[in-house]
Amino acid sequence: MRFARPAGLLLAAVAAALWAVNMAVLQPLTEPIGPWPEALPGNNAYWARDLRFATIVAVVLGLLLAGRGDSWWARPAVVLGGVWIAADVAVDRADPTGTGPMVLLAAAGCAVVAAFACCAAFAVRRKRGAVEPGGHRRTLTGAACVAAAVTLVAASIESPTDREPELHPAAFGTATLLLVLAVSCALAAAPASSRARGWLAVAVGAASVLGVLFVRATSPGGGLLPYSLLGGVLLTGVTLLAWDWPGGRPAWSWHGLAALAALIAQPALLLCAVLTMMMLPIAPPLTELAGNSAINAADSDLLLSFAGVLSGLGMSLLFARPPLLGKRPAPVAVGSPGS
């Protein structure tokens, strides 16, 4: 993918801006007023936090795309994501509200993305050595799976009332950003660029956007069908873009199996991740550190976006296997111009 670097940086910057909007505009809407027990929030009360975590994931994936899966970009990007989450908790505790803080946070986020890109590009140029054949393609395909899985979570996010006018635009915008990242990472992972793959990427993206709209239109209470259909389209599209095409055409039998796995395995993995988070609570400490009210004892404080990341990593074990990707080298070697 010739434009992986600028596309990845642009998407990471957009994700940083969405994070700022979420923090200064959406997060205050989810925080109950008063410490009284009857005012304690319930399930999905902190939906803005879930969408904000999804934008942090998008920042990491955008940087990974910009580096075309190179480990000198990927590993520091994951570390940056962890640092960003810690900063998110600290900023949330400060309760920034309004246009001024939003602009400052957006500028700071974009500056971090730019500084990271400069440092990573400098480190790669100083590095010497060959690229492990196919190594970057596995990373990019795994990133596409994670982006697709978090897209599903963002598209289906709900609030306790689902009456907030900001909920649907925020969920749609975040999900659309993530699905663009999923398609872009999959296209960058392709063994060779072609016009057919380019048009296929457009078709997968358009169908996925319609799928996100369908999920939002049927939310809440839309059931598993819209979610599964969106996952089937997007994850199958990832395999069509990233996997090798023996003889110049897709191996439809393998992609059919991938579609079946997307329809069945991904929801099952997400359910397992959610159940694990209920037994090993991760979100409650974040809620407490951010100074927000605890979820009432009858409900669960969950970080669904993190469960989406775990399910995406699980799908990457299926879809980013070297035999499926082919044994051709990565499209761009480290140290070459434009890498």
Identify the pLDDT of residue 49.
Answer: 92
Compare 311 and 247 and report the one with higher pLDDT.
311
pLDDT digits (tens, 9 = 90+) for 103-143: 999 999 999 999 999 999 888 887 754 444 445 889 999 99
Query: Residue 239: phi, psi to the nearest 5?
Result: -65, -40
Domain-embedded: residue 214: yes
Q: How far apart (Å, rounded) are the C-alpha atoms in residues 173 and 158?
A: 14
**Angle, CA 321 vertex, CA 194 and CA 181 arms, to 5°:** 55
Identify the pLDDT of residue 134.
Answer: 47
The pLDDT of 255-263, averaged and rounded, is 91
The most confident of the ranges 72-76, 163-167, 300-304, 321-325 is 72-76
- What is the chain's mean pLDDT, rounded? 86
Domain-embedded: residue 194: yes
Domain-embedded: residue 300: yes
Domain-embedded: residue 130: yes
The pLDDT of 17-30, averaged and rounded, is 92
Q: Which domain holds residue 256?
A: 4-29+43-325
Locus of tokens 């990373």 = 139
What stretch of H or E contains 224?
helix 224-242
The pLDDT of 76-94, averaged and rounded, is 95
Nearest by Cα to 122 from 81, 85, 174, 76:
76
Residue 332 has pLDDT above 50, yes or no: no
Interacting residues of 47 by C-beta distance below 8 A, sequence separation 6+ = 30, 157, 158, 159, 167
Locus of tokens 């990491």 = 60
* Number of structural domains found in the chain: 1
Q: How far apart (Å, rounded) are the C-alpha atoms in residues 155 and 45?
A: 16
Domain-embedded: residue 167: yes
Domain-embedded: residue 335: no
Domain-embedded: residue 330: no
Identify the pLDDT of residue 218.
Answer: 85
Residue 262 has pLDDT above 50, yes or no: yes
End-to-end CA distance of the chain: 11
Residue 290 has pLDDT above 50, yes or no: yes
Domain-embedded: residue 337: no
